[in-house]
Structure 1
Amino acid sequence: MKTFNVPIIYRSPLISAIKQQRKQQDRMKKDFSPTLLDFGPLRILLARHFGFCYGVENAIEIAFRTVEENEGKRIFLLSEMIHNPQVNSDLLSRGVRFLMDTSGKQLIPWEDLRPDDIVIIPAFGTTLEIESRLQSLGITPLQYNTTCPFVERVWNKAEQIGAKEYTVIVHGKPKHEETRATFSHSRSHTPTIVVKDMEQTHRLAAYIKGETPAEGFYEEFKGQYSEGFDVTRHLERVGVVNQTTMLASETQAIADYVKQAIQEKYALPEDRISERFADTRDTLCYATNDNQTAVTGMLESAADLAIVVGGYNSSNTSHLVELCEEKLPTYFISSEEKLLSRNELLHYDFHHSQELHSFRFLPEKEPVTLLLTSGASCPDAIVEAVIRKLLSFYGLEEKVDEAAAAFAG
């Protein structure tokens, strides 16, 4: 796989050595057990896969190279390039400005842009409408494009099944940048609707089977379906794709539930289901799959708590938190700065969109066993900083360099 020129500030000697050793030992990526870092009173089980993915490294390389090669020019990002506060802050410190926030609210008027300005499309991609707006301003919309190839793969799949007259159901968070982009691209080819979770899927299935009066659909799914959507016709043939960072098990469950609803509605045997349900296979990216599977493997080990590191608005990171929460006390932090002391930390409750102040998160025992992972947009340097901060509570911070040397071999 291609390697990228990512700023050294995001790298970690310890994490790089661990990942390199694991890669050499398991080139086919069949072993999802965690890596044990045994520091005596603190034992850290590090997930097999975590941190920067292909799409994030690609986006970072393009963005930082664009800044370096265009000194003196005004450079804008449509919105956050990835959902990591440190990376976005670094870009802002280099003079890059955001045109919109993550919800799509305009921060800088379109009218302020000039044809010689540079506009970078973030890793999530963007809508066809925004591409058209940039074009109208004399800006080539795809000249500085960091859209993740795995996001584009979803767009291509939606176009392919749309050409066969299937309606596209997108499993995603309706307000997320990537979902908005996928919805825009898909609806340009075929009727499209977004479902955010299994609860909405159950309600959609009721419309598919005719169990709920059709007229209620338009209010219930307001803002989540394409213009001209006809609930009586456009749910007869469907296929499911997704926002690439969703929980794999949930996407599979949603696809299975929709498939079952179609089978029941039209009394189709398994060998004829393709007449009305498109085989889209899994459209999650490899990193999302690997990171989630690694967390599942990590959770097979006995532990006292889990820490997940990443941006608070990162979808893929929140799903890693979800998986950990099923088995252990779990703390979602954005950086080592949230670890205030041996007994105190700030952490994010993404279910209620609030940061919490908690105490006694580390048990009063030895050894403490802690599971650790991070999202696909989190720099390895931050994970190492978290490890250093945790060890500092035990007076063992110098052990990080020893561990790095041991793994480097």
Structure 2
Amino acid sequence: MKTFNVPVIYRSPLISAIKNKRKEQDRMKKDFTPTTLDFGPIKILLARHFGFCYGVENAIEIAFKTVDENPGKRIFLLSEMIHNPHVNNDLLDRGVQFLMDTSGKQLIPWSALQADDIVIIPAFGTTLEIERQLAGLGIEPLKYNTTCPFVERVWNKAEQIGNKNYTVIVHGKPKHEETRATFSHSQANTPTIVVKDMEEAIVLGEFIKGKRPLEDFADVFKGQFSEGFNPATDLQRVGVVNQTTMLATETQAIADYIRQVMVETFDLSPEAVPERFADTRDTLCYATNDNQSAVTGMLKEAADLAIVVGGYNSSNTSHLVELCEEKLPTYYISSPEQLISATEISHYDFHNKQELHTSYYLADKSPVTILLTSGASCPDALVEAVIRKLLSFYGVEHKADEYIAQL
């Protein structure tokens, strides 16, 4: 796989050494057991896969290269390039400006742009409507495009099944930048609807089965279906794709459920299923799959708590938190500064969108065992900083350097 020129500030000698060692031992990526870092009074079980993915490194390389090669030019990002505050703040510090926030609210009016301005498309991609808006201003919309190839793969799959007269069902968060982009590209080819979870998928299934009156459809799925969508005709043939960072088990469950609805509603034999349900297979990206599988493997080990590092608006990170929460106390942090002391931690409750302050989060035992992972947009340098901060509470921070020397 291609390697990228990512700023050294995001790299970590400790994490790089660990990842390189694991890669030598497991080139086929079949071993999802964590790496055990035994520092005496504290033991850290580090997930097999975590941190920057291909799409994120690609986006960072393009964005920083664009800044370096265009001194004196005004450079804009449509919105956050990735969902990590440290990376986005570094770009802001270098003079890049955001045109919109993550919800799509305009921060700088289109009228303020000039034809010679640079506009970078973030890793989530963008809508066809915004591409046309930029082109109308004389700005080549895809000249500085950091859209993740795995996001584009979803668009291609949606187009393929749309061209075969299937309606596209997108499993994603309706307000997320990636889902908005996927919805835009898909609806250009075929009727499209977004379902955010299994609960909404079940409701959609009730419309397909005729158990809900079709006149209720527009209110139930308001803002989540393409213009002119007709549930009477557009739910006859369907296929499921997804926002690439969703929980893999949920996407699979939704696809399986919708498939079964079509089988029961239209009395399909196994051979006839493709007449009504498109085989889209899995459209999650490899990093989402690997990171979630690594957390599942990590959770098989005994531990006292889990710490997940990443941006608070990061979809893929929040799903890692969800997995950990099912098994043990889990703390979602964005930086080592939130590890206030051995007894106090500031962390995020993404379910209720609020910052929490917890005392006595580290188990009063020796050794204390911590599961540790991070999202796909989190720099490895932050993970190392978290490890060193934890070690400092036990007076063994020097052991991180000793560990590097041993690898």
Shorter-chain-normalised TM-score: which range? Answer: over 0.9
Cα distance in 1 for partners of 2:267, 2:107 equals: 51
Cα distance in 2 for partners of 1:92, 1:398 equals: 34
- Residue identity matched to 1:124: F
- Residue identity matched to 1:22: R
| Structure 2 residue aligned with 1:101 | 101
- Report the alpha carbon displacement of residue 116 of structure 1 after superposing the two structures with TM: 0.4
Percent identity (aligned): 77
2:219 corresponds to 1:219: yes
- Report the alpha carbon displacement of residue 396 of structure 1 after superposing the two structures with TM: 0.9
Cα distance in 1 for partners of 2:108, 2:405 equals: 48
- Residue identity matched to 1:393: F
- Residue identity matched to 1:40: G
- Runs of at least 5 residues in structure 2 that lack an aligned partner in the other structure: none
Cα distance in 2 for partners of 1:332, 1:406 equals: 30
Matched residue SS, 2:231? coil
- Residue identity matched to 1:224: Q
Cα distance in 1 for partners of 2:337, 2:170 equals: 36
- Report the alpha carbon displacement of residue 389 of structure 1 after superposing the two structures with TM: 0.4
| Structure 2 residue aligned with 1:55 | 55
- Report the alpha carbon displacement of residue 148 of structure 1 after superposing the two structures with TM: 0.1
| Structure 2 residue aligned with 1:126 | 126
- Runs of at least 5 residues in structure 1 that lack an aligned partner in the other structure: none
- Residue identity matched to 2:335: S
| Structure 1 residue aligned with 2:139 | 139
Q: Name the TM-score, length of structure 1 as normaliser.
A: 0.99
- Report the alpha carbon displacement of residue 399 of structure 1 after superposing the two structures with TM: 1.0
Figure out how many residues of one structure are paired with residues of the other and give that number: 407
- Report the alpha carbon displacement of residue 366 of structure 1 after superposing the two structures with TM: 0.5
- Report the alpha carbon displacement of residue 96 of structure 1 after superposing the two structures with TM: 0.1
Cα distance in 2 for partners of 1:188, 1:396 equals: 57
Cα distance in 2 for partners of 1:73, 1:402 equals: 45
Query: Can you list the C-alpha shifts for 1:91-150, whole angstroms capped at 9, x where unaligned?
Result: 000000000000000000000000000000000000000000000000000000000000
Cα distance in 1 for partners of 2:184, 2:400 equals: 46
2:313 corresponds to 1:313: yes
Cα distance in 2 for partners of 1:41, 1:16 equals: 24
| Structure 2 residue aligned with 1:401 | 401
2:115 corresponds to 1:110: no
2:343 corresponds to 1:343: yes
- Residue identity matched to 2:192: T
| Structure 2 residue aligned with 1:251 | 251
- Report the alpha carbon displacement of residue 356 of structure 1 after superposing the two structures with TM: 0.4
- Report the alpha carbon displacement of residue 197 of structure 1 after superposing the two structures with TM: 0.2
Cα distance in 1 for partners of 2:218, 2:208 equals: 14
- Residue identity matched to 1:330: T
Cα distance in 2 for partners of 1:19, 1:68 equals: 29
| Structure 2 residue aligned with 1:163 | 163
| Structure 1 residue aligned with 2:79 | 79
| Structure 2 residue aligned with 1:301 | 301
Cα distance in 2 for partners of 1:402, 1:101 equals: 43
| Structure 1 residue aligned with 2:272 | 272
| Structure 2 residue aligned with 1:153 | 153
Cα distance in 2 for partners of 1:269, 1:343 equals: 60
Cα distance in 1 for partners of 2:196, 2:287 equals: 21
Matched residue SS, 1:232? helix
Cα distance in 1 for partners of 2:405, 2:190 equals: 55
Matched residue SS, 1:381? helix
| Structure 1 residue aligned with 2:232 | 232
Query: Can you list the C-alpha shifts for 1:251-300, whole angstroms capped at 9, x where unaligned?
Result: 00000000011111000011210000000000000000000000000000
Query: Can you list the C-alpha shifts for 1:6-49, whole angstroms capped at 9, x where unaligned?
Result: 00000000000000000001000010100000001100000000
2:287 corresponds to 1:287: yes
Query: Can you list the C-alpha shifts for 1:196-232, whole angstroms capped at 9, x where unaligned?
Result: 0000001000001001000111001000000000000
- Report the alpha carbon displacement of residue 403 of structure 1 after superposing the two structures with TM: 1.0
Cα distance in 2 for partners of 1:337, 1:260 equals: 48
Matched residue SS, 1:340? coil
| Structure 2 residue aligned with 1:364 | 364
- Residue identity matched to 2:284: L
Cα distance in 1 for partners of 2:405, 2:180 equals: 45
- Residue identity matched to 1:337: E
Cα distance in 1 for partners of 2:188, 2:401 equals: 53
2:180 corresponds to 1:201: no
Query: Can you list the C-alpha shifts for 1:163-206, whole angstroms capped at 9, x where unaligned?
Result: 00000000000000000000000000000000000000010000
Matched residue SS, 2:284? coil
Q: What pairs up with 1:369-380 in 2 under 5 angstroms? A: 369-380=369-380
Cα distance in 1 for partners of 2:291, 2:406 equals: 25
- Residue identity matched to 1:60: I
Cα distance in 2 for partners of 1:402, 1:197 equals: 46
Cα distance in 2 for partners of 1:28, 1:365 equals: 37
Cα distance in 2 for partners of 1:231, 1:338 equals: 48
